[in-house]
Amino acid sequence: MSFVHLIIFIPFVAALLIPFFYKYLSRIHTGWFVLPIPAVLFVRLAAEVPLVAQGEIFMHTMPWIPSLDINLAVCLDGLSLLFSLLILGIGTLVVLYSIFYLDKEHEALGNFYLYLLIFMGAMLGLVFSDHLMLLYAFWELTSVSSFLLIAYWYQRKKSRAGALKALFITIFGGLSMLAGFILLSSGMGTYSIREIIGSGKEVTLLPQFFPAMLLILLGAFTKSAQFPFHIWLPDAMEAPTPISAYLHSATMVKAGIYLVARLTPIFGGTMPWFWLVSLVGLVTLFWGSFSAVKQTDLKAMLAFSTVSQLGMIMCLLGLGSAALAEPLNIMSSLYPAAMLTAIFHLVNHSTFKGCLFMVVGIIDHNTGTRDIRKLGGLIRLMPLSFTMMMIGSFSMAGLPPFSGFLSKELFFTSVLHIARLDIFRLETWGVLFPVVAWVASIFTFVYCMILVFQTFLGKYQPQKLEREAYESSWGMLLPPLVLAVLTILFFFYPNVLADYLLLPALAAVLPNMAAADFGIEPILAWHGWTPELMMTIGVVLLGTLLYLTFPKWSRIYHQLPHWLTLNHAHDRFLSLGEKISLTTTKAYMTGFTRDYLAYIFLFMILLLGGGLFGQQNFSFDPTGNSPIEFYEVILVLVMISAALTVALAANRLTSIIALGVMGYVIAIFFVIFRAPDLALTQLVVETVTTALFLLCFYHLPKIKKEVVRLSFKITNLAISLGVGLIVTAMALSAQGHQLFPPISGFFENSYELAGANNMVNALLVDFRGFDTMLEITVFTIAGIGVYTLIKLRMSRRDSD
Amino acid sequence: METLISVLIGILFTIGVYLILSKNLLHIIFGSSILSHGAHLLIITMGGLKKGAPPLVSENAAAYADPLPQSLILTAIVINFAVTAFLLVLAYRSYDVLGTNDMNQLRGVNDE
């Protein structure tokens, strides 16, 4: 077992132990036992940074289901190292934060840390997996643990609804991703991601290349809350704030980003991948930032801003994937630069968004509300929170001196120059990118300002708050402070970060290019009076203007009618599905036995009739039939008229007697057909049956002697005629076919073998005695049943 | 003869199925009786009719009627009798407890 395996397994093992700590050491907050786990793992992984920066890749495999070629294959390269450091680093801070956020007395902490550790382990497994099926297993585990965490306060209706929605959408994506994985691995003959990458351009020639890409992207888009699957993310804000900070800003929503980045070497460089990823990202970027402005709940605002930032990263990943396209032209260093920007912004977003969520959590915790309309003037009461909120928001808005500025500038560089490239018809449509990106940035700027100034400036309204606002303890302030400091540090030393983490990650995303080929210049905070800087200045100016005039134009948000929203579509889809299945079920599950019998007979007619006549299997060959005597025809006629009498008689007694006539005629038939034992049995049985009928329906006093006529129904007649025809046709058709001679000649030895002259009796008690034994059993059971029915009088009414 | 009996079987099945599809419990039991008659005739017909002597060794005949379908039918008759008897008592009991023989009224609750 390698250390990478250990890192994945330790959280799961720890999760198993959590309930014991929670139960037996309840005086100490359970979080303190959890805290060392991510911290130690973080340090252990950080020790690998220099090695990985030199291009080393750790590959380990452990058998899991070797016969199916499913192994615990893990790989530690630049990309997974970057992600795992984010998961563990922010995980440590979130656990620390949650110790002070969640109350020891009132919360079910055992559940919380159990779910959290499962999630952490699943997420680590996800980024380390080299095996597609393993990746999928961890992927679904993150969905399930996220579901549990969103519904942590399961007493609340909204929590349950949010959890269900998140599960529904992410599992939908997860399943289509699985289908895509299966298509991909069946085409390539291997499950290993690295081997598929290693096979080069072979994968693009597969017939299932495009469907696999589409299905996998569906998984990535749903997980990373891309348009139009982003609707689950704002509803997931019902989770406790540490969870929102951890899952729904820094880690889980990045799983889709990770997947796209990881599979870029496989699918990247093709036109559909480029356009799908970058356009969906662009639309998400715009829609997320546009929707964020209208929110009044701080967490909802942050949720939409997460959606928007994820869209930006996705868009950059799409643009960067063009680096793998053939043939490369002079401008080719631009694409790797876009990819690097994506990775850079991913790190930045994780830090400042985690910080922002934690600050919002502090505000919620210390004032009792997250509603912007109730908040205001907190700057004097909560100065530290204000500072951190400002750092996070300004970084998100892309202002210096915070890390967001750098990645936003690089983003502008990428979209500005993308139009100049002449692949994938960018010369026509490329102009779309800078324009939409710029407009989206303006909205980003506006909601960042709202976030800071509406919350902390303005008038303090203590009467609207649940409790008097106060600054938090250091334990709660420390985690966001660390992230805020990192945000500033990344601005001043971006190239340290780039050299040790970002470039190795880039090498993993674009594996077939040597590092020197990238031609990427170091990230510079000041890069001269370039168009990008002009764009940023434009964003600031227009954004400030829009922020100041916000009440005047906020009406546009109410223009979109409710029935056009995506949430409404989602709800309609679900309720429509329920309604359709309910009506179809009600339509055929009528509760009438007659209907079900009709279905059964209809299927019999269709299947057997189809088999007989549809495929021309019907044949009729009367040669070899025995001759017909006159009296036999008479008997047949008697039989038919007796059967008709049974059916049509007005009097029940007549029916019973006609039924008896039928039984006796059958007995005569058995005589004619040389079956003495059958004739004997039939006579006796018919007599007893008739007696029973009479007993039950005539002599038992309770039954009224009402006249029951058989009602006529044309459908019933059609069905029964169909059944009769099919049976006759089968009987006739079967006569002409004898595949092999009968085995009955053997039973002529009954005297030698069994000492019996009567072959039928020898068959019944000697050759096939088992049948008889079980038949006796049937008889006994029926007898007991009859006795019970008559004797036992326990109805529900009586026992009450 | 086989053709004639085959047609008779078809007629018996038609009437049996028609009765089974009706709403009166008693008619349904009549129907199942007629169906079982049809099935018994079908089995013996498929074995071939009137070919040789009854299956008794002492007859010293050149050929015997097939004993296998006969033993099968014998088993079937007895089982059918047991089931019919049980059904009858069940129908009687259900009338006794529920007060109706109409299958359309025996539908359980409307909305569960």
- Sequence-distant (≥ 6) Cβ neighbours of residue A637 within 8 angstroms: none
CB A697 within 8 A of CB A652: yes
Q: Which of residues 703-722 of A touch B (CB under 8 A)?
A: 703, 708, 710-711, 713, 716-717, 719-721
Closest Cβ–Cβ partner in B14, B41, B68 for A744: B68
Residue A147 has pLDDT above 90, yes or no: yes
Rounded CA separation B49/A189 (Å): 62
Query: Is A103 exposed, middle or buried, given 0-12, 13-18 or 19+ CB atoms closer than 10 A?
Result: exposed
> What pLDDT score was predicted for residue A563?
67
Could you report the per-residue pLDDT of A310-332, keeping only the tens digit for each?
999 999 998 888 877 765 554 56
* Position A101 pLDDT exceeds 70: yes
Q: What is the DSSP letter of A766?
A: I
- Four-point Cα dihedral A704, A706, A709, A710, nearest 10: -10
Range A730-736 average pLDDT = 83
Instruction: Give the mean pLDDT of A476-484.
Output: 89
pLDDT-wise least confident of A661-670, A791-800, B53-62: A791-800
Q: pLDDT category, A781, cuts 50, 70, 90?
A: very high
The larger pLDDT score, comparing residue A177 to residue A557, is at: A177
As a whole number of angstroms, the distance between CA A250 and CA A660 comes to 83
Output DSSP code: residue A316. H
Residue-wise burial string across A783-798, b where 16 or more C-beta atoms lie within 10 A, e elsewhere = eebbeebeeeeeeeee
Whether chain A has a CB inside 8 Å of the CB on B105: the answer is no
Report chain B residues whose CB lies below 8 A from the CB of A628.
1, 4
Confidence of residue A778 (pLDDT cuts 50, 70, 90): very high
Check CB contact of B86 with chain A, cutoff 8 Å. Answer: yes
* Residues facing residue A76 across a β-bridge: A58
Least confident of A78-87, A425-434, A583-592, A597-606: A425-434
**Residue A799 pLDDT > 50:** no
Put simply, the answer to whether B17 touches A626 (Cβ < 8 Å) is no
DSSP per position, A422-477: -STTHHHHTTHHHHHHHHHHHHHHHHHHIIIIIHHSS---GGGSSS---PPPHHHH
Residue A468 and residue A313 in contact, taking contact as beta carbons nearer than 8 Å: no
Place of tokens 């490239």: A421
pLDDT of B25-67, one tens digit each? 888 888 999 999 999 999 988 887 767 788 888 767 778 888 8
Task: Check B55 against A759: CB less than 8 A apart.
Answer: yes
Beta-carbon separation of B26 and A731 below 8 A: no
DSSP-assigned letter for residue A611:
I
Residues of B in contact with A597 (CB under 8 A): 20-21
Average pLDDT over residues A331-360: 86
Q: To the nearest whole angstrom, how far is the Cα of A610 from the nearest Cα of chain B?
A: 18
Residues A588, A593, A594: CA angle, nearest 5 degrees: 85
Q: Is omega for the bond preceding A401 within 30 degrees of 0, making it cis?
A: yes
Q: Are A283 and A318 in contact (CB under 8 A)?
A: no
Instruction: Give me the mean pLDDT over the A760-785 stretch.
Output: 92
Cβ distance of A732 and B6 shorter than 8 Å: yes
Residue A135 has pLDDT above 60, yes or no: yes
Report which residue type is found at A661. V
User: Is A521 a residue whose pLDDT tops 90?
Assistant: no
Dig out the tokens for A714 from the structure. 């044309």
Provide, rounded to the nearest whole percent, the portion of chain A with pLDDT above 90.
Answer: 30
Total number of residues shown for chain A: 800
Residues of A in contact with B38 (CB under 8 A): 727
Rounded to whole angstroms, the Cα distance separating A533 from A530 reads 5
**A790/B89 Cβ within 8 A:** yes
Min Cα–Cα distance to chain A from B107, Å:
6
Q: What is the pLDDT of residues A435-450, one digit of tens each?
A: 888 899 999 999 998 8
Interchain CB distance below 8 Å, B71 and A670: no
A514 contact B CB<8A: no
* B49 in contact with A, Cβ within 8 Å: yes
- Residue A669, C-beta contacts closer than 8 angstroms, at least 6 positions apart: A635, B41
Q: CA dist A59 to A72, A80, A118, A515, A561, Å? A: 11, 12, 23, 21, 53
Check whether A795 has a pLDDT greater than 70.
no
Alpha carbon of A231: minimum distance to chain B alpha carbons (Å) = 34
Which residues in chain B have their CB less than 8 angstroms from residue A688's CB? 81
- B47 in reach of chain A (CB within 8 A): yes
Residue A626 in this model has a pLDDT that exceeds 60: yes
- A654 pLDDT higher than 70: yes
Q: Return the H-helix or E-strand segment holding A60.
A: strand A58-65
Residue of A640, A659, A674 with shortest CB distance to B65: A674
CB A708 within 8 A of CB A649: no
A621 inside 8 A of chain B by CB: no
CB-CB neighbors (< 8 A) of A728 in chain B: 6-7, 9-10, 13
pLDDT at position B53 is: 83
Å between B27 CA and nearest CA of chain A: 8
Q: What is the mean pLDDT of chain A?
A: 85
The residues facing B56 across adjacent strands are A758
Interface test with A, best of B4, B22, B42, B107 (most A CBs within 10 A): B22
Does residue B4 sit at the A interface (CB-CB below 8 Å)?
yes
Give A591 or A721, the one with higher predicted confidence. A721
Q: Which of A760, A765, A777, A799 to mutate to test the interface with B (most CBs of B within 10 A)?
A: A760
Chain segment A229-275, per-residue pLDDT in tens: 989 998 888 889 899 889 887 788 999 999 999 998 888 878 888 88
ipTM over 0.90: yes
Determine the residue of chain A that is closest to B68 in CA distance.
Answer: A744
- Grouping H, G, I as helix, E, B as strand and the rest as coil, residue A392 is helix
Among A396, A98, A72, smallest CA distance to A247 is for A98
- In chain A, whose CA is at the least distance from the CA of B104? A592
Say which of A601, A786, A795 has its CB closest to residue B86.
A786
pLDDT of residue A567: 84
Element (H, E) at A73: strand A70-76
B60 interface with A at CB cutoff 8 Å: no
More confidently predicted of A137 and A434? A137
**CB contacts, 8 Å: B13 with chain A:** 720, 723-724, 727-728
CB-based contact (8 Å) between A675 and chain B? yes
Query: Which has the minimum average pLDDT: A591-605, A637-651, B54-68?
Result: B54-68
- Cross-strand bridge partners of residue A65: A70
Nearest by CB to B21, which of A594, A672, A682? Answer: A594
Q: In whole angstroms, what is the distance from residue A113 CA to residue A680 CA?
A: 79
pLDDT over threshold 70, residue B96 = yes
A788 has a chain B CB within 8 A of its CB? no
Q: Which residue in A636, A716, A744 is closest to B66 by CB distance?
A: A744
| pLDDT grade for A800, boundaries at 50, 70 and 90 | very low
Distance (Å) from the alpha carbon of A739 to chain B's nearest alpha carbon: 13
Most confident of A454-458, A528-532, A720-724: A720-724
Q: Answer yes or no: do A708 and B33 touch at CB < 8 A.
A: no
Q: Is residue A419 over pLDDT 80?
A: no
| DSSP state letter for A485 | H
The alpha carbon of residue B76 is apart from the nearest alpha carbon of chain A, in Å, by 9
Out of B4, B88, B101, closest to residue A636 by CB = B4
Q: Which stretch of A135-149, A211-225, A406-420 has the lowest confidence by average pLDDT? A: A406-420
Put simply, the answer to whether B46 touches A731 (Cβ < 8 Å) is yes
Mapped onto helix, strand or coil, the DSSP state of residue A65 is strand
- The predicted pLDDT at position A513 comes to 65
Question: Taking CB atoms and an 8 Å limit, are A720 and B21 in contact across chains?
Answer: yes
Instruction: Indicate the residue of A593, A673, A751 with minimum beta-carbon distance to B49.
Output: A673
